[in-house]
Structure formats: structure tokens, C-alpha cells
Amino acid sequence: MPIWVTPVARYMARGLATTAGLAGVSIAVSVMLGIVLGALLVLPSRAVRLLVRWYVEIWRGLPIIVTLFFIFFVLPIIGLTFGTFVAAATGLCLWGSANVAEVVRGAAQSVSRGQADAATALGLPWAGRMRYVILPQAARRALPPLVGLVVNLTQQTSLATVIGVLDVLQASQRSIERLTLSSGATHAAPILGAVLVVYFVICLPLTLLSRRLERSL
């Protein structure tokens, strides 16, 4: 085994841990916040729906990399300073929650109107209709696209490298630079190949799960 492999592997393991943490936080917050926002998009109040719709359209419409630059480089001008990890997680959560909200809204509105009317006839308030009637049925329809979003969000964590987050991609880039300076050989092919394998191993099972759920549900 070449002498450079062990230190590079350890350094990239640190980056992989950061990637896993960033993906975990972004997915958890995006799903929880997105479900709430998606439910609000079918609220009877037009004012609330309009506010949530603006949130969804803004963060879905902006490229994630632009959002990351805005959070990390522009907000400090007005006194809001974030570390690289927090800035990256915030940008990913904004994009992820907006997309989850749209998925939940679509799933909720696909449930037959008669279900909601029947729940209303039984005296259930809006919150009760959503909790006991609409969302349980919508969950089956929303699950496959949500898994697809989880895959997409995991892949988008690689963009965090542009603001300096030491994720697995950033670790690989720095390793290549160090090896180039120290030995004159980049070893880029095996290092970047390892990054490719990491993302493939993480995302392929989720992609297959999404397809299976789409067929079965």
C-alpha cells in the first residue's frame, strides 16, 4: 500500500463524518419543517397560504449555491455571522423544506375531497381533519418522492465545499493539493474515485428504495 493512502484515508474519513452530519441535520429539519409548511399550504386561511407560498417559491427558485453564498458572505454585513457548517445546513434546510412542503401539499390535495367533507360532517376541526384523515392517506403518496428528495439533498451537501465546509469532497481536494505540492503527483484519480464510490454507495440504495415504494404505494 502506498505511504500516502493511510493519512489521506483518515483525512477523508473526517470529511465523510462532516458530510454525514450535514446530510442528517438537513434531512431531519427539512422533513419536519416541510411537513408543517405543506400542511399550512392547504389551510383555509388565504393569508397564511400566501405567506407560505412565498417561502416555498423563493427557496425552491434560488440555486442552492446562491443561497449558501448569501448566508455566508452577505448576512455578516448586517451582523448575522454563521460558521461554515451552520451556514451550509441552513441553506440546505431552506431548499429542502420548501421542496418537502410542495410534495406534502400535492399529496394532501390528491386525497379525495369527500374524505375531508366526511371528517367535517363528523365535527372534526381543520387540525383534526389533517391529523386523522388527510395526512395519513397523503403519507403513502408522499413517501416515494420524499425518499427521492432525501437522495437529492444528500447529493447537494457537496455544494457546501464552496464556503469551506470540510466535507468529503473538500477533504479530497485538499488531499490532492497537498500530494501535488509534496510529491508532484496528484493521485487525483484514486482519490476522486473514492469520493464517487462513497456517494454511489449512499445514494443508490435510497434511489432503489424510492422506485420500489413508488411501485408498491
DSSP the chain: --TTHHHHHHHHHHHHHHHHHHHHHHHHHHHHHHHHHHHHTT-S-HHHHHHHHHHHHHHHHS-HHHHHHIIIIIGGGGT----HHHHHHHHHHHHHHHHHHHHHHHHHHHS-HHHHHHHHHTT--HHHHIIIIIHHHHHHHHHHHHHHHHHHHHHHGGGGGGGT---HHHHHHHHHHHHHHHHS---HHHHHHHHHHHHHHHHHHHHHHHHHHHHH-
Q: What is the pLDDT of residue 64?
A: 93
Q: What is the pLDDT of residue 5?
A: 66
Q: Rounded to an integer, what distance in angstroms lies between the CA atom of residue 4 and that of residue 87?
A: 32
**Residues, the chain:** 217
Q: What is the pLDDT of residue 1?
A: 55
Q: What is the pLDDT of residue 167?
A: 80
Q: What is the pLDDT of residue 3?
A: 61
Residue type, 91: G
Q: What is the pLDDT of residue 93?
A: 96
Nearest CA-CA partner of 207 in 158, 157, 151: 151
Cell numbers standing for residue 11 = 483525512
Give me the number of domains the chain comprises.
1
What is the full per-residue pLDDT of the chain (217 aa) written as tens digits? 566 567 777 888 888 888 889 999 999 999 999 999 998 998 888 899 999 999 999 999 999 999 999 999 999 998 888 999 999 999 999 999 999 999 999 988 888 888 777 877 878 887 788 888 888 888 888 888 888 898 899 989 989 888 888 788 888 888 888 888 877 777 788 888 888 888 888 888 878 877 777 777 5
Say what the pTM is. Answer: 0.85
Give residue 202's domain range: 5-216
Q: What is the pLDDT of residue 207?
A: 80
Q: Rounded to an integer, what distance in angstroms lies between the CA atom of residue 67 and that of residue 108?
A: 28
Q: What is the pLDDT of residue 70?
A: 93
CATH code of the domain covering residue 142? 1.10.3720.10
Alpha carbon distances (Å) from 39 to 34, 48, 90, 126, 134: 8, 11, 21, 10, 10
Residues whose CB falls within 8 Å of the CB of residue 110, separated by 6 or more in sequence, listed in order: 138, 141
